[in-house]
Amino acid sequence: MNKPDYIKTCARCQRDKPADCFRPCKTTRDKIQSWCKDCFRENALAHYKKNQARYDARRSELYHKNKNIKPVTPPQSTDTSDLL
Ligand SMILES: [Zn+2]
């Protein structure tokens, strides 16, 4: 699929950026998201920092919960083509 080749203004930072700087999105009319990749990254990072205590607590909880579970050996397969 070819990405649209034009400049779009990011709805968050209001900067004009090439379509390459936006992630594809099936639900929008121009098939790319309204926020640029940088804004999504910044937003995710800000959200994580804001909720870091909660994420850390959840991770710790899962760690202690799963600590005694033994890993399951994956089924042996000679066909590795689907891994690529
Ligand atoms: Zn942006």
Residue-wise pLDDT for 17-60, tens only, equals 999 999 999 999 999 999 999 999 999 999 999 999 999 999 99
CA 30 to chain centroid: 20
φ/ψ of 31, rounded to 5, equals 65, 10
Per-residue pLDDT at 13 exceeds 70: yes
CA 56 to centroid of ligand 1, rounded, Å: 28
Cα Rg of the chain (Å, integer): 20
Cα–Cα distance measured from residue 28 to residue 15, given in angstroms and rounded to the nearest whole number: 19
- Residue with tokens 């909660």, as numbered in its chain: 54
Per-residue pLDDT at 1 exceeds 90: no
Cα–Cα distance measured from residue 12 to residue 33, given in angstroms and rounded to the nearest whole number: 11
CA 68 to centroid of ligand 1, rounded, Å: 44
Regarding pTM above 0.85, the answer is no
List the chain domain ranges. 7-65
pLDDT band, residue 73 (cuts 50/70/90): confident
Residue 2 has what pLDDT?
52
CA 59 to centroid of ligand 1, rounded, Å: 30
